[in-house]
């Protein structure tokens, strides 16, 4: 089962490949790439997202949960040094 602790351990293993003084830059770079990826997906799929919200009101809590998890991952990436 996937948990956020597994993500943290994978991220720590990934950071161990870089020198300690570049961990901050790597974290910022990953956060920028994540935001850029989300932007590209939303830009391309915006009409489908709008239809999903209009046609399926139960999706709003799901989307809030996903957005909250994305924000938590971004906070984690930016807080690591």
Quote the DSSP letter at residue 1.
-
Sketch the domain layout of the chain as residue ranges: 41-81
Q: DSSP state, 22?
A: G
Instruction: Name the pLDDT band for 80 (thresholds 50, 70, 90).
Output: low
Task: Kindly tell me if the per-residue pLDDT of 71 is higher than 70.
Answer: yes
What mean pLDDT comes out for the span 26-32?
87
pTM equals: 0.55
Q: Given a cut of 60, is residue 14 above it in pLDDT?
A: yes
Mean pLDDT of 19-48: 85
Question: Can you tell me the mean pLDDT for 16-45?
Answer: 86
**Pick from 6, 21, 23, 13: which is nearest to 73 by CA?**
6
């Amino acid at each position: 089962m996937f948990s956020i602790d597994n993500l943290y351990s994978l991220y720590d293993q990934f950071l161990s490949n870089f020198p300690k003084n570049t961990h901050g830059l790597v974290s910022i770079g990953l956060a920028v790439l994540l935001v850029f990826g989300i932007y590209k997906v939303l830009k391309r799929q915006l009409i489908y997202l709008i239809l999903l919200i209009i046609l399926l009101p139960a999706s709003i809590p799901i989307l809030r949960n996903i957005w909250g998890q994305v924000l938590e991952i971004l906070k984690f990436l930016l807080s690591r040094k």
